[in-house]
Chains A and B, each alone.
Chain A
């Protein structure tokens, strides 16, 4: 039987799943509801603050981890859901899902480096 390369993507899926399980709900609440509604620190997301956060090595790492791992987690599950729905899209879907996650991760890294100014 051919060895599957699934372990690589499963480990990334697992890391993303753990991260999104720990901070996913609160992040969605903060950025998508609480701050826009003014319930919580309306200027917490203002340009200067977020730029400073993203320039800090730990802040950059946090942003990159969330973007990258969330993408790998979500896309891995989407890929398997396509299979569950009986859509046998094979290599094309794999490339689309993991390719998007990889491109997103690379783009995030490049952007975080370039804003260091």
Chain B
């Protein structure tokens, strides 16, 4: 058993903002003891448990699957559960809410704009024919699944939105995750929804808002590669513009 008695300490500078009393956000310094196995999220939990119970931040699974604990860590978007205090030592570590979103309180941001964008891309299966349960499962080859599987790993953590300068410059931009999920469904062999999603893709706020900075794919904790999804769809959107949309529409699989 490892000795869990904290032997080191690190300073966390955490953004604090209570809208009912504060006119603007400000950084609060906390001295946090830590062991080698502690994540930044655990550091924040230490503050909340022992130093300031009012500190507000989202978290849930502690294992990079729920997408809740995204923060700006020294200016870079990261999941709190995936970055370790031992790697941030000696500090100080600046912890701020995800960039490009309005701050509700402390480290909690308003994700509403993303949820609207997500809904706009219709992130669900649009089948060619209704699939009654009695028909059994729809089958796919490994190659067919490989076409969309990486994009299906998105946990909506919004690190990519915080990393994307175009989201910052143009809040109407659909953004990396929404467009990656648009592609995830278009690339699924069971889906024939290209026509339903094309208006979002073809718009200036769709794929054309992207200038291929590529930081979204770098910060993504799940390897989704939204930059790839978006820029592949620039080709699709251009083909659609030239009237070659028929080449994109998937022929309905046999019922």
Direct contact of A and B (CB under 8 A): yes
On A, residues with C-beta under 8 Å from B are 1-8, 10-11, 80, 83-84, 86
Q: Is B204 an interface residue (CB 8 A)?
A: yes
Contact between A8 and B241 (Cβ–Cβ < 8 Å)?
yes
Q: Kindly provide the distance from the CB of A4 to the nearest chain B CB, expressed in whole angstroms.
A: 4
On B, residues with C-beta under 8 Å from A are 165, 169, 199-200, 202-206, 208, 211, 234, 237-238, 241-242
Say what secondary structure dominates the interface of chain A. helix
Query: Pick the contact of B199 from A3, A6, A11, A83 — CB < 8 Å?
Result: A3
Contact between B169 and A11 (Cβ–Cβ < 8 Å)?
no
Select from chain A the residue with minimum beta-carbon distance to B165. A84
A10–B237 CA distance with the chains assembled, in angstroms: 11
Chain A residues contacting B242 (CB-CB under 8 Å) are 7
Chain A residues contacting B200 (CB-CB under 8 Å) are 1
Starting from the known contacts A1-B202, A3-B203, A3-B241, 14 additional A-B residue pairs (CB-CB under 8 Å) come to: A1-B203, A1-B205, A2-B204, A3-B202, A4-B208, A5-B241, A6-B204, A6-B208, A7-B237, A7-B241, A10-B208, A11-B238, A84-B165, A86-B169
Chain A residues contacting B238 (CB-CB under 8 Å) are 7, 10-11
A98–B204 CA distance with the chains assembled, in angstroms: 17
Chain A residues contacting B204 (CB-CB under 8 Å) are 1-2, 4, 6
Interface CB pairs A-B, < 8 A, 12: A1-B200, A1-B203, A1-B206, A2-B204, A3-B203, A4-B202, A4-B204, A6-B208, A7-B237, A7-B238, A7-B242, A11-B238
Contact between A10 and B205 (Cβ–Cβ < 8 Å)?
no
Chain A residues contacting B169 (CB-CB under 8 Å) are 83-84, 86
Chain B residues contacting A10 (CB-CB under 8 Å) are 208, 234, 238
Chain B residues contacting A8 (CB-CB under 8 Å) are 241
Q: Kindly provide the distance from the CB of B75 to the nearest chain A CB, expressed in whole angstroms.
A: 18
Q: Kindly provide the distance from the CB of A102 to the nearest chain B CB, expressed in whole angstroms.
A: 19
A3–B234 CA distance with the chains assembled, in angstroms: 13
Sort A-B residue pairs by CB-CB distance and give the 9 closest, nearest first: A1-B203, A7-B241, A7-B238, A6-B208, A4-B204, A4-B208, A3-B202, A1-B199, A80-B211
